[in-house]
Amino acid sequence: MWHARKVTKSRRVIRDRRRRGTIKLLGVELDSALSMDGHVFNVVHGCNYHTRAVRHIRPLLDLDTAKMLAQGIVAARLDYCNSLMCGMSNRNFKRLQVTQSALARAVCSAPWSTSTTVPRRSLHWLPVRRRVDYKLALITFKARRTGCPVYIA
């Protein structure tokens, strides 16, 4: 019976997405205005889940293992298709930055009252907006340097 409710709920969610005019392509939710609101919501939701999990198991991990785990979360969630985020609203960048900062605090066991600059620097992470700019610059450099499309290089 529980499974039937879950299926019904997921169908309802799919219908709601169609009404809003969104499409999910390669894990990125796009709407007609290309605002990236739906994609950012999904990324923040997934990252918060993993941040809570890291926070629970952090006392059992040494710092190097926690860093490796967090890097996997950042690479898989925050950095996935982030070149599409160029020109995104400040509100969405702030939501992603708060998520990255929470993960940095969880990994470094920093209190919530401290600035997130120190934990991010110790993890060698750029802020989210700078990560997007860096990725675009790297793609442009590789394309100009090699003279072929990025997916071939």
How sure is the predictor about 99, in pLDDT bands with cuts at 50, 70 and 90?
very high
Together in a domain, 63 and 127? yes
- The answer on 79 and 11 residing in a single domain is no
pLDDT of res. 4: 43
Task: Indicate whether 119 pLDDT > 60.
Answer: yes
| Rounded distance between C-alpha atoms, residue 84 and residue 24, angstroms | 14
Within a domain: residue 152? no
* Domain extent at residue 3: 1-26
Pick from 12-26, 68-82, 119-133: least confident: 12-26
At residue 153, the pLDDT reads: 55
Based on the domain organization, do 73 and 17 belong to the same domain? no
Take residue 131 and report the two structure tokens written for it: 């990560």
Q: d(Cα 82, Cα 138) in Å, to the nearest integer? A: 12
CA distance 63 to 51: 15
11 and 60 housed in the same domain: no
Average the pLDDT over 12-31 and give the result.
65
Total domain count, the chain: 2
| 22 strand-pairing partners | 31
Q: Is residue 137 part of a domain?
A: yes
Same domain, 74 and 95: yes
Q: What is the pLDDT of residue 115?
A: 87
Decide if pLDDT at 3 tops 50: no
Alpha helices per DSSP H over 21-89: 37-57, 63-73
Question: In this structure, are 126 and 92 located in the same domain?
Answer: yes
* pLDDT band (50, 70, 90) for residue 6: very low
Model confidence pTM above 0.75 = yes
pLDDT at 139: 85
Task: Indicate the average pLDDT of the chain.
Answer: 82
